[in-house]
Amino acid sequence: MFHKLRKKNKITKEEIIADLIFLIIPFLIVILFLFFFDIHWNFYSDGQLFPPEKYIFPDKSIYLTGGLIGAIIGFFIIKLFIFALKEDKLVINR
pLDDT digit string, tens, across residues 12-37: 888 889 889 989 999 999 999 988 88
- What are the pLDDT digits (tens) for 44-90? 667 666 776 677 778 888 888 888 999 999 999 999 999 899 888 88
pLDDT of residue 35: 84
Q: Are 10 and 43 in contact (CB under 8 A)?
A: no
Q: Are 54 and 39 in contact (CB under 8 A)?
A: yes
> What is the total count of domains within the chain?
1
Beta strands in 15-60 (DSSP E): none
Question: Is residue 2 domain-resident?
Answer: no
Beta strands in 1-94 (DSSP E): none
**Which residues form the domain of 46?**
13-93
Q: How many CB atoms lie within 10 A of CB 34?
A: 20
Question: Is residue 8 domain-resident?
Answer: no
Question: Is residue 7 domain-resident?
Answer: no
Q: Are 49 and 42 in contact (CB under 8 A)?
A: yes
